[in-house]
């Protein structure tokens, strides 16, 4: 396999390499079983990649020392290593693009400490995100990271992707909650950055360089998260809107005119909602409305929260809402969020061909313009779409379906000019190609639209400084 950064060639995972890895991790810490290797070589990217990628071995380290031993060995022998969390990524980040070793973090799955006094939680990377949330809650505290995949993703994968999700407008993306990291560099050395402190300007901010670096610079082995007091009250509004324009305008008015900072503002267009009804047993009021919004507000004090709910509800009605459903108790709120989770999971898409699943982000002031241009772009490429997502962050997910494309036509080939036109439009509006799903393998060919030559050259120099032999997650982020 050609090394993408230079002239050297990677070594294969030979029998001798497997023996050496077993010596480092024990028999149960390594597999070369073909089926298992293939299962650990995909993520949730839809559509799947044009060709199949396959790990030659999967390693299951149990602690930092084992991660270090594997990386030191792989670096010395020039074997590519792809870190892997739960494999729920949507850009091929955990796909072993150059073969070699997949380093699964699933056995590093302990929450090490909840420190109530410092309001921090220290965890290994292989803990399911929802378990982090639960552990914080059991101590009366709140972890505000909330990707829609929280029941299945790992916290380490969230850090590596700087996962966003539903509460970014009020609390920020994953990176906003990370105070410190322990990580292993590609040569096996162990580094720690940041710590149980809320301020730190000593040296470069490596914590936030590693956050979102998609496993290309270091393997994260320990994470210190910031916790906040647990909001005692939460209320969700489900708001069907008669037009996309009215929905977008309302989102901005909630904060500017209403003076309310909701904890979530989610958006689902008509096609998304109709597909939920078509493929699940859920029935949604006003399912033919142009858009539905979920507006969540939280707080400590019932009276203050109710004041925000009333103000927001009033704004909704004055700005055209077809109805405002208020969900206060757990069951009602779960029913509202089930709609959004079904839209994100899009189980139905697995039985439908998908041209592309996108995650663009534009300034919030440009959301309306983007949604106006989107149908013209997809029509030109003989496609239809569902649009939904974190509208208050300007982050719109788009699942694009072929429409009138003959079965013999190559969907992968057709997706390229469609994506280029879509991204050019996003760039024109001051946006970028991914808000939270990452560049990975899927979008690296399009970075030239958004990053100039100097930026790309700097990224390569940073990569080289961390990983001179380019063994860690090669062939990701940049072509
Ligand atoms: C139904 C569904 C809903 C989703 N909703 C959201 C959402 O709301 N918001 C959002 O942001 N994303 C969402 N995602 C995408 C995905 O869940 C996130 O990107 C998540 O952070 C990936 O975590 P993971 O553990 O599955 O990582 P993986 O997919 O296994 O890996 C992702 C990347 O992280 C790297 N990596 C993993 N662990 C480590 C580590 N310990 N050290 C270094 N690098 C590492 C991998 O190499 C890879 O590049 C959704 C996905 C699905 C399937």
pLDDT tens digits along 221-233 = 999 999 999 999 9
- Residue pointed to by tokens 């029998």: 15
**CATH 3.30.70.2740 intervals, the chain:** 353-437
Strands 57-59 and 101-104: parallel
* Nearest residue to 57 (alpha-carbon basis) of 108, 26, 13, 27: 13
Q: How far apart are the first and last CA of the chain?
A: 15
For residues 418-439, give the mean pLDDT.
98
DSSP letters for 297-310:
EEES-HHHHHHHHH
Distance of CA 452 to the CA centre of its chain: 24
Q: Of 2-11, 180-189, 418-427, which range is least confident? A: 2-11
- Return the CATH architecture of domain 233-347: 2-Layer Sandwich (3.30)
**CATH 3.30.465.10 intervals, the chain:** 111-229
Q: Of 237-241, 342-346, 435-439, which range is least confident? A: 342-346
> Tell me, what's the pLDDT at 5?
42
User: For ligand 1, what atom is nearest to the CA of residue 214?
Assistant: 49
- 111-229 domain in CATH 1.20.1730.10? no
Ligand 1 center to residue 257 CA distance, Å? 36
Vertex 7, ends 5 and 10: CA angle to 5°?
A: 80
Ligand 1 center to residue 16 CA distance, Å? 32
> Which of 44, 47, 85, 391 has most ligand 1 atoms within 8 Å of CB, for mutation?
85
Q: Is the pLDDT of residue 6 over 50?
A: no
> Tell me, what's the pLDDT at 336?
96
List pocket residues of ligand 1, CB cut-off 6 Å: 43-44, 82-90, 93-94, 105, 125, 147-149, 153-154, 156-158, 160-161, 163-165, 214-215, 219-220, 344-345, 436-437, 440, 473
Ligand 1 center to residue 308 CA distance, Å? 33
CA–CA gap between residue 144 and residue 165 (Å, rounded): 10
> Which of 70, 160, 212 has most ligand 1 atoms within 8 Å of CB, for mutation?
160
**Torsions phi, psi for 288 (to 5 deg):** -95, 10
> Which of 157, 347, 354 has most ligand 1 atoms within 8 Å of CB, for mutation?
157
Q: What is the pLDDT of residues 336-345, one digit of tens each?
A: 999 999 998 8
Q: Is the pLDDT of residue 406 over 90?
A: no
For residues 355-372, give the mean pLDDT.
97
> Tell me, what's the pLDDT at 142?
98
Q: Is the pLDDT of residue 461 over 70?
A: yes
> Tell me, what's the pLDDT at 408?
86
For residues 297-309, give the mean pLDDT.
96
For the stretch 396-399, contacts whose Cβ atoms lie closer than 8 Å and that sit 24 or more positions apart, written own/partner, are 396/267, 396/360, 396/361, 396/362, 396/367, 396/370, 396/371, 397/344, 397/357, 397/358, 397/359, 398/356, 398/357, 398/358, 398/360, 398/374, 398/422, 399/46, 399/346, 399/349, 399/354, 399/357, 399/358
What fold characterizes domain 353-437? Alpha-Beta Plaits (3.30.70)
**CATH 3.30.70.2190 intervals, the chain:** 233-347
> Tell me, what's the pLDDT at 351?
78
* Nearest residue to 93 (alpha-carbon basis) of 446, 445, 479, 475: 475
Q: Do 177 and 225 contact (CB within 8 A), yes or no?
A: yes
Q: What is the pLDDT of residues 261-277, one digit of tens each?
A: 999 999 999 999 999 99
Helix (H) or strand (E) holding 293: strand 291-299
> Tell me, what's the pLDDT at 305?
97
User: CA torsion sign, 401 to 367 to 332 to 133?
Assistant: positive
For residues 148-164, give the mean pLDDT.
97
CA–CA gap between residue 66 and residue 366 (Å, rounded): 47
On average, the pLDDT of the chain sits at 95
Ligand 1 center to residue 332 CA distance, Å? 28
pTM attached to this predicted model? 0.97
> Tell me, what's the pLDDT at 407?
81
Q: Is the pLDDT of residue 4 over 70?
A: no
Q: Of 67-81, 170-184, 340-354, which range is least confident? A: 340-354
CB atoms within 10 A of CB 377: 18
CA distances from 12 to 80, 99, 101, 195, 441 (A): 9, 8, 10, 38, 21
């Amino acid at each position: 396999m050609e090394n993408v950064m230079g002239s050297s060639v990677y070594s294969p995972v030979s029998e001798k390499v497997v023996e050496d890895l077993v010596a480092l991790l024990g028999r149960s810490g390594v597999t070369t079983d073909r089926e298992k290797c293939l299962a650990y070589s995909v993520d949730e990217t839809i559509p799947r990649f044009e060709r199949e990628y396959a790990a030659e071995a999967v390693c299951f380290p149990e602690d930092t020392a084992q991660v270090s031993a594997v990386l030191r060995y792989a670096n010395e022998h020039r074997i590519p290593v792809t870190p892997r969390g739960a494999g729920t990524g949507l850009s091929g980040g955990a796909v072993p693009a150059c073969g070699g070793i997949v380093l699964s973090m699933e056995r590093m799955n302990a929450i090490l400490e909840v420190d109530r006094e410092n309001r921090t939680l220290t965890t290994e990377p292989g803990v399911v995100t929802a378990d982090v949330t639960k552990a914080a809650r059991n101590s009366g505290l709140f972890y505000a990271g909330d990707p829609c995949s929280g029941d299945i993703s790992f916290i380490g994968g969230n850090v590596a992707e700087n996962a966003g999700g539903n509460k970014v407008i009020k609390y920020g993306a994953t990176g906003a909650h990370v105070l410190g990291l322990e990580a292993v560099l590609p040569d096996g050395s162990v580094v720690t950055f940041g710590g149980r402190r809320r301020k730190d300007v000593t040296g470069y901010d490596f914590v936030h360089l590693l956050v979102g670096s998609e496993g290309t610079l270091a393997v994260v082995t320990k994470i210190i998260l910031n916790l906040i007091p647990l909001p005692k009250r939460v209320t969700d509004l489900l708001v069907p809107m008669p037009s996309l324009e009215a929905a977008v305008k309302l989102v901005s008015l909630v904060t500017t005119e209403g003076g309310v900072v909701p904890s979530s503002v989610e958006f689902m267009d008509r096609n998304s909602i109709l597909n939920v009804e078509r493929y699940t047993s859920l029935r949604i009021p006003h399912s033919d409305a142009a858009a539905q919004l979920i507006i969540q507000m939280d707080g400590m004090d019932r009276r203050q929260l109710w004041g925000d709910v009333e103000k927001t509800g009033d704004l909704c009605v004055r700005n055209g809402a077809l109805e405002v459903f208020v969900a206060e108790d757990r069951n009602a709120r779960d029913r509202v969020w089930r709609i959004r989770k079904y839209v994100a999971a899009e189980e139905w898409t697995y039985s439908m061909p998908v041209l592309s699943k996108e995650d663009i982000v534009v300034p919030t002031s440009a959301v309306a313009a983007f949604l106006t241009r989107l149908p013209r772009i997809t029509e030109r490429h003989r496609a239809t779409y569902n649009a939904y997502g974190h509208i208050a962050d300007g982050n719109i997910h788009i699942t694009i379906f072929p429409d009138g494309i003959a079965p013999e036509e190559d969907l992968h080939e057709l997706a390229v000019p469609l994506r280029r036109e879509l991204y050019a439009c996003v760039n024109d509006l001051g946006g970028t190609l991914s808000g939270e799903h990452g560049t990975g393998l899927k979008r690296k060919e399009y970075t030239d639209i958004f990053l100039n030559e100097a930026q790309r050259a700097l990224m390569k120099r940073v990569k080289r400084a961390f990983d001179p032999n380019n063994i860690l997650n090669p062939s990701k982020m940049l072509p």
